[in-house]
Structure 1
Amino acid sequence: MSLIVHDLDAAQAFYADVMGWEFVASTLGGSFSVAMAHDRPVAGIGCCSPAASPPAVWTPYFAVDDADETADRVRERGATLAVGPVKLAEGRAAIAADRDGAVFGIWEGMALAWSVGRGSAPARLDLQTRHAFEAAIFYAGIFDWAQPPGGCTVDYAEDHVRVKLEGRTVATLRGGGIETAADPRIRPRWIVDFRVEDGARAAAAAFDAGGESSLVPALDDPSKDAFIIRDPYGALFTVSGP
């Protein structure tokens, strides 16, 4: 998961206050740092000039064997390749937007043995999209989901699609996103949910640090609470308790 902003120091201060993260230098240079929680990597935050900075958005990166081949698949399926593939440290990366505008990244190179819902990885990864089943076909074609050996299992439910790896849900695709919505919270996007000790404390800290927060039902269990947080740069993410 990564976030690109135009002021790295200010972003680090915000996420240190809200999430309790610490930051260390990365192999990508001084304009990119790694967020750490309990001495384990959680996410990356990078910086570029305000003139070149895209809208701030938390972006999930999917590991691929060949960035060029994956980029070709993105274009063939009518989506947008915004950046790359470009060489980045010891790997190659690209940023794309699917046909409904949800931003995601691809990475070719060495990667953490990192899986959603485990260890320091985000607790959940959800796609809010216009039509869950169409999105599942799109992403399955790009990333070879459901292709053995070792492929994901794609389970189609009444109103959502679950992508599972070894029986565990690693992503959920949900319909109902509206591309032209004035409220960015309901536009198509990848939703990154980070686990925190106290969601209410994180939400209050976000408000005090210049962001916004709102209480919503947790996507995986509507009987529980989660918080949508918007940082001072406009990037949205959610937090939920242990």
Structure 2
Amino acid sequence: MNDDTPPPRPVQKKRSGISTHSVFGAPCWVSLTSRDLQTTEEFYTAVLGWRWRSVRLGDHFRIALAEGVPVAGIAAVAAMWQMAVAWTPYFAVPDADEAVARARERGGTPAVGPLSFPPGRAALIADRDGAVFGIWEGELVSNWETWRRAAPTFIRLHTRNAFDSAMFYGEVLGWASDKPGCCEVEYVGGEVVLRSRGDAVARIDSGAVEAAPDPSVRPHWQIHFAVTDVAECARAAEKHGGSVLSEEETEAILRDPDGAQFTVTTARGAR
């Protein structure tokens, strides 16, 4: 081997946990970039009842727990890394490099990675309309079925053309392919519904957002968390430095103290 030959890519050891090969193409994790870790922890503890544990990545990172189940990652690096404050969904892929390459070929913009975060690899990508999403290759942080039942309820992409977006994500993430375990895609009216193992795990909606001046309604992925009392969550958000953007009986759109937007949804409003 000469000096110009790149070193071989490390082979990940097989672990006992469930890997992205078993649920590829499905949303498998959500992560929040924030500015202040203590404020973020206090807010989401008050609104969603979460508890916290440290991770090996350092003092700026935490894992959120719902009744002991890991449900989300928090990274207080928005100011340090000059990143937007936002919730981001991650999709399971068998090969992060391949998914990034497919996204680039189809007009997406790789923003970060793939980077190694043992026990896996992650990347951030903006789709053709600018909506940011993540991909994850490797062992899942939490058992997928357990995570799905704990939170979030589902994720929804608000975009300009649901069918065009479904084509992009389908080609990048392997939706509706002939591979065992891939996600199924349904077209219902003007909406695209993504199903994994029979469950609706994501939805894609079209909307007239081309000229919207408010960045919060530009193409973006919205995270929906399951709660038992929407009104109680909304009041807790207001009390702890957040705000309520809209509120109905079964659903409310909230904003945390750093400006990250998310939705709380009851079981009746989940599907």
Rounded to whole Å, the distance in 2 between the matches of 1:228 and 1:115 is 25
Match of 2:15 in 1: none
2:57 aligns with one of 8, 18, 28? 28
Match of 2:251 in 1: 226
SS where residue 58 of structure 1 aligns?
strand
Match of 2:260 in 1: 235
Quick check: 1:65 aligned with 2:90?
A: no
Q: Which moved more, 1:42-51 or 1:146-155?
A: 42-51
In the TM superposition, what are the counterparts of 1:64-83 in structure 2 within 5 Å? 64-83=93-112
Q: Matched residue pairs, number?
A: 236
2:113 aligns with one of 61, 79, 84? 84
TM superposition shift of 1:117: 8.4
In the TM superposition, what are the counterparts of 1:104-143 in structure 2 within 5 Å? 104-111=133-140, 112-115=142-145, 118-143=148-173
TM superposition shift of 1:140: 0.2
Rounded to whole Å, the distance in 2 between the matches of 1:206 and 1:184 is 21
Match of 2:191 in 1: 160
TM superposition shift of 1:115: 4.9
Aligned-residue identity in percent: 45
State the AA in 2 paired with 1:93: A
Q: Is the 8 A contact 1:4 1:53 kept in 2?
A: no
Rounded to whole Å, the distance in 2 between the matches of 1:45 and 1:70 is 24
State the AA in 2 paired with 1:74: A
Residues 120-143 of structure 1 show CA distances to partners (whole Å, capped at 9, x for unaligned) of 131121111110000000000001
Quick check: 1:171 aligned with 2:171?
A: no
TM superposition shift of 1:209: 1.3
Quick check: 1:209 aligned with 2:234?
A: no
Q: Is the 8 A contact 1:116 1:170 kept in 2?
A: no
TM superposition shift of 1:30: 2.5
Larger CA Rg, structure 1 vs 2: 2
Match of 1:220 in 2: none
SS where residue 135 of structure 1 aligns?
helix
Q: Is the 8 A contact 1:22 1:36 kept in 2?
A: yes
Rounded to whole Å, the distance in 2 between the matches of 1:109 and 1:228 is 32
Q: Is the 8 A contact 1:117 1:170 kept in 2?
A: no
TM superposition shift of 1:8: 1.1
TM superposition shift of 1:56: 0.9
In the TM superposition, what are the counterparts of 1:181-200 in structure 2 within 5 Å? 181-200=212-231
Task: Label 1:196 to 1:98 Cα distance change in 2 as closer, same or farther (>3 A).
Answer: same
Rounded to whole Å, the distance in 2 between the matches of 1:208 and 1:177 is 33
SS where residue 126 of structure 1 aligns?
strand
